[in-house]
Amino acid sequence: MDVYAEYREYIDYLNTRDAEQRRRKKHRLPMECYTASDCEFFFTICARHQGEPFSNPDLATAVVESLLWRKQHHNWTLFCYCLMPDHLHFIVQLPPHEIRYFNAGARGIVPEGILDHVGNFKKYTTMMWWRQGGAEKLWQHSSYDRVIRYNESVEPAVYYTVNNPVRKGLVARWEDYPYSAIVDPW
């Protein structure tokens, strides 16, 4: 009899824990925040499986060119980028625009934002990777992002980004690293 009571208590604990996990906040901001054009977004996208695919100069060049194409095509302000052997940092601001909506399938009709652009960038560069002989996905499923606060300067984040190869000992000066640049003024 005591064994059944203990078992029921354990099941209740699991149900309570599961309900609590479902109530936890998501790590993302509300989707509408990712359509804002009055703030800067600082992204870090990591290579999948902790590899170093961007040590391949052809792939690294193609990824940087794809990022610059996205900047031009979507009229981003791209403050800077740095493509390391295993991850990409970049800081971007969307242009002032009328928000476009699109059908996102199971998510319904949603506003188009920077996460959609980043997702398309990851898909495109993964397809390029496959064409070059890569056998798996290129990027981790998610990305790390943060919104730079309205009263914060973007300058510290820019210099953090471009100095990444210096901190890792790849070059003595960030200007010498071929996959890092300050693109637009702030």
Structure confidence by residue, pLDDT tens digits, 77-128? 999 999 999 999 999 998 887 677 777 788 788 778 888 899 999 999 999 8
Q: What is the DSSP letter of 150?
A: T
Distances (CA, A) of 53 to 39, 131, 144, 161: 31, 14, 19, 19
Domains of the chain: 29-182 (3.30.70.1290)
pLDDT band (50, 70, 90) for residue 24: very low
Q: What is the DSSP string of 7-68?
A: HHHHHHHHHHHHHHHHHSPPSSPPGGGGG-SSSEEEEEEEBGGG--GGGSHHHHHHHHHHHH
Structure confidence by residue, pLDDT tens digits, 33-65? 888 888 899 999 999 886 899 999 999 999 999
Q: What is the pTM of this model?
A: 0.79
